[in-house]
Each structure stands twice: as C-alpha cells, then as structure tokens.
Amino acid sequence: MISIRISSKDKVFLRWLRINRKDRACRILLTSRSKEEINVLFMNNLHNRFQKFQKTIWFNIFCYFWTGFFSFLAFAPVSLTHFVWIAPFGFFWLSLKYHGKYKQLFYQGLIVGIVFYTISFHWIVHMSITFGNFPYMVAVLILLLAGALFSLKFPIFMMSFSFLSGKVGRHSIWVAGFCGLLSELVGPQLFPWYWGNLAAGNIILAQNVEITGVYGISFLVFVVSYALFQSNPWYWKEILHSKEKRKQYFRFVSLPVLLLLSFIVSGFVLYKKWENVKPVKSLSVLIVQPNAPLSFRDGRELKESIEALMVRIEKLTDEGVKKMEKKPDLIVLPEAGVPFFSAHNTTVTTVTRRLYWHRFDSLMFLLANRYKANVFFNEIDAGYKGEPSARNLRYYNNNVLYDPNGDRRDSYQKKFLLMFGEYMPFDFLYELSQQTGRFEPGLTHNLIRYYTPADKDKSPKGLHLGWNDTENLSHEAIRSYYEAAKTEVQVSGKFLPLICYEVILPEFVREFRTAGNPEFIVNLTNDKWYGTTTESDQHMELGRLRSIELRRWMVRSTNSGISANIDHLGRFVGDKKTGLMTAETISETIEVIDSPPTFYTQYGNIVPWLMLFLTGLYYLNLLIGIRRGKRT
C-alpha cells in the first residue's frame, strides 16, 4: 500500500466529500492531483448531495425564500435588477419536484406567494395597523391572506408550466415565457406588480414598454431565466467534450439570447430616439410636500392641528418659490394635503354635509394670485347620484385646478378606487374598519386644462394677503380685494391627472386617450399610511413606467414622500427626490414633448396578447401532433 501524507487542507476537503482517505478516490486525488478528476469528483458529489436535498422539506423552504428574496433584491428600493433573472428558479425547481402533481403545485405556488408578500409587501402589516386600527396579529393575518389571495399568478404559472413542459419536451424553450405571460395577464392582484417591473430597473430594457408594455418584459424575464436554469453546471463537462451536446445546447440558448439582444437593441434605439427629441416648451413646477397628518388624534384640538398644517403649506410654498429662478407656472399639492375638507362651495358641501371650509378655499386662491400660477390640489367633494336624498349622497376623491386668478376650473374625480382603502366590497365590512372611506368612483377620464396669465406680475393695490387674514375675512371679501389683480388668462395646454393607486395601472391610464393627447402627467398621492416602509419606493417604481409608455414627463406630488419629477425616458429629473415623512418642496423645469400617441397608448397590450396567442397556437399544434403520433 502506498503511504500518503495528507495535509490539513486535504483532510478538510476529503471530509467535505465524505471520502475515506485510504480508498481509491483518495489516492487518485492525492497522488495524481488531476485537476479534471478533482473537478469531476467535486461536481458529482455536489450533484448527489443536491439531489438528496431536493427530497426534503428544507428544499421547498429553500425555493420559497430563493424566489422571495431575489425578487425583493431586484425590486425597489434595493433595485439590484440583475437578480430578476435568477429569481424564478424557485418555481422551476418546485415544478420539477412536483411534476404532474397539480394539487401540490397549486399549494406550493400559494406558499411562494405568501413568502413573497411577507418579504416584499411587509408594509401591509404597518398599513393595517395604522389605517384599520387592527391588532398586530390580525394585521399579520391580513398580510398572509393577501399573499394567498392575490398571488394566484404563482400557482397558475407552476401548474401550466408543469403541464406544458412535460408535454412538449425539447420544444420547451418558450414554455416558461408563455406560462409567465399567461399568469401575469389573468392572475388577479390588489397591488398590481409584474416581473417586468423588476427588470425595468434597467433603463435600456425599460424603454421597450412603449411597444410591448410591462408584460412583454415579463415574457423576456421568464424565457431568459429558464435558459439560465437549464444551463446546468452538472452538464458543462458533457457540453464541452461532446460536439453533439454543444450543438443541442447552442440551439437551446440561441433563441433566448437573440430575444434578449433584440430587447437590448430596441431599447437602446428607442432611448437614443427619445433622448434627442426637442421639447416644444417648458414649465416651472413647484411640488409642495406638506406631510399632513392622517388624523388628528395627538391630543390637540382639530383647529390647532389644521391651523399648523395650513401655516406649513403657506410657508413651504413661499420658501420654495424663493429658491426658484422664476415664479412657478404650476404649484402642485398632494392627495390629502389638506385632509377631510373641500374647497368646493356647493349646497351639498355646505349644508347637507359640512365639508366646505372657506379658509381652505381662500388659501388656494391666495397662492394662485400671489404667484399668478396654476394651483392643482386634492379635496373631498360630494354630490348626489340621482335625486337629492341622503340615500343618494356620494363622496368623491377630487383633484381640482385654480387658474392664476384663483378661479376654480377643471376637476377630476378619482375613477379607480382602492378596495379596503376607499370603499368596502360589502357594507358589513365597514364595521371592521371605521376609517375606510365610502367613496364613489368618478364617471369620466378627463384631462385638466392649465392657463397662462397675460401679466404674471399683476398684484393687488395693497400688500398680498396671507393665511392669517383668512380668519377674519370671508372668501368673498378676499376675492373682492384681489379684483384689481385680475389678468387675462388663456388655455396653455392639458395634462393627465392621476390619483394615487391609478398610476400603477397601465391599462387604466390608457383609457385617457379618448380625452386627447396630454402634455404631461400629474400624479397626486398619499402614501403616509405605509410609514417609512418600502411601499413608497415600490409605488413610485411601478408608476414610473407610465412616463415611458406615454412618453410624457410626470410630476409626482406626495403627502409624505417620495415626490419627484420623472422625464419621458423614465429618469428622475436632476436625481431629485424628497425624503419620507418630511415637509419639503421640490422645484424643477419640466419639458413638454409634442408627439403623437405612442404605440402602447394606441394599441395597449396587443403585443403581449399576440405573443401569448401565437405561442399558444404553436404549442396547441404541437400537442395535437404528439397525440396523433401516439395513436398511429
């Protein structure tokens, strides 16, 4: 027998491989020191261990957290986009383990969804406690239920993928993309997000949403991810040493590589095209982020709290304007910037329900006149649906614009309401969450006109009035005081108004095309319910793609962060973003792009639906051919 001296390093290596130092493998390893044999031994041992691991429950848990964790890293605010390409591996592993066991695949998909929600949408707990006053354990239960109910696209993907990949065999390269696209298009969601959103952190790939929508990038993610998954390191040696295996492998990966390259090239071409488009005009915009309270439950009187808020809004606006090179053309306040009140003086808001507050109305009027600027803000409005009666009384989440003379102009009532936030699907649920609103959706998709004053420096004969003056002066008296400051105004253009949740719904935003071609987008949002969690970053990231789809700049004004301006390429203008839970302003000159409606605006998701139809047709034909072959 050969006497072999084993170093401590070799002992550790052998112990890891579970090899007896006296057997043949040990002698090969330590005498010949063949690098190739060592690698083969290492990979075979690793492969065997992984196969044993796959049979355990710990492997399932590993898959759940693999997909959940890497998806979270690819998503905002971490935004390590490259991890999106390996995040679906958990689906593929579980689909292989439970191949053909559709009941198991359904349950496994639900568990992945729950884990994903727990990691990425953990802010649901904070929202449930803050908004619904639910106990912590109930809030956790709500999170788990949301993960199960609104992640059905996960089990849909796993079941369809297991079925098709088992039927079509070597033709399975597009199966992952087909099933991923199918699950995204038909899977119900409360807080819509798509795999394409995770990849769209890459600014070049993101440009493709102008044509394919976010679903097209989701298709790309699953095709490329499956190609990477099938590039199994266990088979690298066979691929390198077998010409036939190499041919098979390159045939397999060539289409995903070509697809990825086509997205990169088209994204780059679109990026350069739109980067060189010259704006037809520009506007000076001031965003005011007041950090208004969600409610007044801190011991102070309502009057004291609301007074402090209104003083803060006036002060922030004045300080923000002083930092600007010229007076603003548009001042934007967020959703719920002044909560619980209306500036709309109607019989319903003054008599039936006391929503109207003349001091709120007066402050918006004063800001418009002080800077001869358009002021766009949010309020609660009310009206009757049919004949005037208590039964027909309805509330609306309303955005309205005051022109540079302070006159009330166009308004937009939020059309797509958030379930459990602005309404309950069943009346008895209101007893569980007293703070949930009883809002009615608006009826129209309308644009908002904004105005240019003939004389931007025209002012009253005396000094400008301020917030403190509104306590002793009626709104009519204030309007009379500014009568001498009136100037001619003319319509300058139109913008697309979106309230909060609406900005993350690409199909909904498209519906505004019937109202005309807007010059830019304004999104008013209140994310304070979510505190300093990741929700604000995710909300902004999901909405960012609307700027690319429409090729319009976006002004995003939030109550407590994150406010920003986004250009038509999906970039944050000047890298300026406000903080969370802060009262501050952000000013910028935004550009107006004069271009016809984009392909996505006109045709929507026709490309992903076409991809789904053609791929489905191909596989249907293939399955029919396979069945006929079996019969013969």
Q: What is the 3-state secondary structure (H, E, C) of 208-231?
A: CHHHHHHHHHHHHHHHHHHHHHHC
| Residue boundaries of the structural domains of the chain | 8-39, 56-276+613-631, 281-594
Token pair in block for residue 534? 């990741």
pLDDT at 302: 66
- pTM for the model: 0.89
CA distance 10 to 315: 72
Token pair in block for residue 99? 């191949």
**Rounded mean pLDDT of 449-470?**
92
Confidence check: pLDDT of 451 > 50: yes
Alpha-carbon distances of 343 from 319, 406, 421, 462, 485, rounded to whole Å: 24, 12, 23, 25, 21
pLDDT at 2: 46
Residues in CB range of 110: below 8 A, 6 or more apart: 147, 148, 151, 152, 154, 155
**Rounded mean pLDDT of 596-614?**
95
pLDDT at 251: 78
How do residues 378-422 score in pLDDT, each as one tens digit? 999 998 887 887 777 889 999 999 999 999 999 999 998 877 667
How do residues 154-164 score in pLDDT, each as one tens digit? 999 999 999 98
Buried b (16+ CB within 10 A) or exposed e, 317-347: beebbeebeebbbbbbbbbbbbbebbbbeee
Residues assigned a catalytic role: 335, 414, 500
How do residues 306-350 score in pLDDT, each as one tens digit? 899 999 999 999 999 999 999 999 999 999 999 889 999 998 888
Confidence check: pLDDT of 468 > 80: yes
Token pair in block for residue 521? 């987008």
CB 255 within 8 A of CB 230: no
Does residue 256 have a cis bond before it (omega within 30 degrees)?
no
CB 449 within 8 A of CB 410: yes
**281-594 adopts what CATH topology?**
Nitrilase/N-carbamoyl-D-aminoacid amidohydrolase (3.60.110)
Half-sphere exposure for 369 (CA within 13 Å, toward CB): 27
CB 95 within 8 A of CB 158: yes
CB 553 within 8 A of CB 539: no
How do residues 42-96 score in pLDDT, each as one tens digit? 666 676 787 788 889 999 999 999 999 999 999 999 999 999 999 999 999 999 9
CB 490 within 8 A of CB 522: no
How do residues 104-131 score in pLDDT, each as one tens digit? 999 999 999 999 999 999 999 988 888 7
How do residues 286-306 score in pLDDT, each as one tens digit? 999 999 988 654 445 567 788
Token pair in block for residue 320? 């923000």
Confidence check: pLDDT of 29 > 70: no
Of 270, 306, 192, nearest to 543 (Cα)?
192
In this structure, is the dihedral angle defined by the CA atoms of residues 557, 561, 564 and 569, taken in order, positive or negative?
Answer: negative
Which class for 48: exposed (0-12), middle (13-18), buried (19 or more C-beta within 10 A)? exposed
**Rounded mean pLDDT of 580-606?**
96
H or E stretch covering 591: strand 584-592
Helix axes 209-230, 243-275, angle to 10 degrees: 160
CB 411 within 8 A of CB 443: no
Does residue 331 have a cis bond before it (omega within 30 degrees)?
no
The pairing of strands 584-592 and 281-289 is: antiparallel
Strand partners, 591: 282
Half-sphere exposure for 201 (CA within 13 Å, toward CB): 21
CA distance 404 to 605: 39
Strand partners, 283: 590
18 torsion bin: left (phi>0), alpha (psi -120 to 50), beta (else): left
Q: CA angle, 255 as apex, 157 and 151 as ends, to 5°?
A: 15
Confidence check: pLDDT of 19 > 60: no
Helix axes 89-97, 57-74, angle to 10 degrees: 160
